[in-house]
Each structure stands twice: as C-alpha cells, then as structure tokens.
Amino acid sequence: MPYCPKCGVELEHTVKNCPLCAFPMPKINDDANQPVYENKFPQPENIYFENLLKIKNQVFFTLSILIFSAVLVLMTIRSFFRVIPPAITYSIISVISGWFYISILFGYIRSKYYSTLSLGFITLCLTYGLDHVDGKLTWFYSYALPITILAVLVLLLLLYLYNRSRLKNQFVFVPAHLCISISLFSAALECILDFQANRKIHLSWSLIVFIVLMSIALILISLYYKLPDRIKEKIKRTLHI
C-alpha cells in the first residue's frame, strides 16, 4: 500500500498525488503482472453544464419558435398592403436582429472577443437595415457606423483589460473599469455627435462624466492597492483631529 511520506496516511494505488498535500506519489512497480486497482469513484462528470445546456437549449428553442412565428405573422400582414408601411419592415428587421442578439447572449459563441465582434456586426446590420427602409442611407454612415465601432472597441478594450489585469477582485475591477470605459466612450461619443452636428468639436457634458467617473475609478483602484505608507502618513498628519 502506498503511503504519503509527508502526511503519513495510507493512500489508494490509483492516486498520483497525495489528496491532502499534493505530494507526488512515486510509481513503485511497473510489473505487468501487478493486480489492476480500480478507483472507488467513477470518473465524475459535471452535472451542472449538462443541465444548464439542456435548459438553455429549451429556452432558446422556445424563443426561436416565438420569433419565427412573429416574423411569419409580420410577413403575412406585409403581403396584404400594396404600399408597405415602414413600421412593419422596421419590426421584421428588429425581430430578426433580436434573434441573433439572443443567440449571442446565450453564449453559443464561446470566445468573448468574437461575441463582442458579432454583437457589433449585428448592430451594424440592424442599423443599416433600419436606415435603408426608405431606400436611402441618411444617418448610418455619419452616426451608427462610428458609434457602433467605438462601442465595440471600448468593449474589446474592457475585455482585454479584464483578462490581463492583476485586479482579480470583481467588486473593484468591474465598477472601476466600467467607469473608465463609460468616461472614454462618452467623450468619444460627444466628439462624434458634435462633429456631425456642427463640424467642430467642443466637449461639454462628457467632460463632467469623464471627471466624475474617472475619479470614482481612481479611488476604487487606489483603495484596492492601498495607499503607500508615505501618503497615508501625510493624510493622517494633515487631517488629524
């Protein structure tokens, strides 16, 4: 019987490391005539993912049928009109895009980066479709395209930072980085809106958002990393009662 030299406990023949201290157990005998030892437990499967996928598929299937029925109803109504009302076309485009959004939000695309890119692509298709209902493009290139690309870039940056950051505390990381992203996004958004409207850039409300959210983010991050003793001492000295 194998024993863990560190814990002193007897172990099963099948274990590679001591279950208590993870000390590697040496393979003592390679003899082919050795009895075959069976594990006391089956190689366990994870019930959670199986059940989750089953439920997710059921819900997605139900939603797909509902969306398909809605599109069918809208198409039927559309065929009755000689001059097609734009509201029906808007609805059809939105419902179909909704199905694509749901399929991404349900996690059918594994990679978060590809999911984000797909979300951006669907948004572009949706906005293009909505703008193109009357046969000409008025706001797609000037507003929808740059704003969507901007949002996707900010989301990708957020994901990249999340994966690379040393900040593992989600209660600090998520709000701090959301604040940074929203402040950057609002500044860029105002640039786009201002440029399209007045052909010049003059930042106003986004500056307020930027200052407030950046301050919150910096406070959160500095609290997490803790202030250096020198600064702590200085604050203590200045603010002592």
Partner 1 sequence: MRQHTKNWYKLDNAGKLYPSITSTRVSTVFRVSATLYEEVDPTLLQTALNNIIERFPYYKVNLKRGLFWYYFEYTENSPLVEKETFYPCMFMLYKRKKSFPFRVLYYDKKISVEISHSITDGTGVVIFLKSLLVEYFRLLDNDLSLDEKNGIFFPHEPIDQEEAEDAFHKYYQKNIPDPPKLNKAFHFPFKLNSKGEYHIITGIIPAKPLLAAAKEHHASLTQYLLALYFDAIQEYIHIHKIKVRHPVVMNLPVNLRNLYPSKTMRNFFISITPQIDFRLGTYSIHEMIDYIQSYMKIAVTPKNISQYIHKNVKNEKSLFIRLTPLFIKNLLMPVLYNKYAERNYTSSISNLGLISMPKSIEHLIERFEFYPPPSRGNIIKVGVVSYKDKLYISFGSLTKNTEIEKIFFRKIRKMNIPVKIETNRE
Considering CB under 8 A, how many residues would be counted as binding partner 1?
A: 25
As measured in angstroms, the least distance from the Cβ of 6 to partner 1 is 9
Which segment (47-55, 127-135, 176-184, 223-231) binds partner 1 by CB under 8 A? 47-55
Check binding of 42 to partner 1 (CB under 8 A): yes
Helix axes 47-80, 86-105, angle to 10 degrees: 170
- Candidate residues 29, 46, 170, 204; the one interacting with partner 1 per rule CB under 8 A: 46
Cβ nearer to partner 1, comparing 9 with 105: 9
Check binding of 208 to partner 1 (CB under 8 A): no
Q: Which residue has the tokens 């997490």?
A: 224
3-state DSSP call for residue 24? strand
Check binding of 224 to partner 1 (CB under 8 A): no
Longest Cα separation, the chain: 87
For residue 223, the one-letter residue type is L
Q: Considering only residues 16-35, where is the footprint of partner 1 by CB under 8 A?
A: 18-22
Check binding of 211 to partner 1 (CB under 8 A): no
Query: What CA–CA distance (Å, rounded) separates 185 from 191?
Result: 10
As measured in angstroms, the least distance from the Cβ of 226 to partner 1 is 15
Q: Which two tokens stand for residue 134?
A: 């009357």
Query: What CA–CA distance (Å, rounded) separates 33 from 144?
Result: 72
Residues 6+ apart with CB under 8 A from 19: 11
Alpha-carbon torsion (216, 221, 226, 228), positive or negative = negative
- Candidate residues 5, 34, 51, 212; the one interacting with partner 1 per rule CB under 8 A: 51
Check binding of 53 to partner 1 (CB under 8 A): no
Q: Which residues of this chain interact with partner 1, rule CB under 8 A? A: 1, 4, 7-12, 15, 18-22, 38, 40-42, 44-49, 51
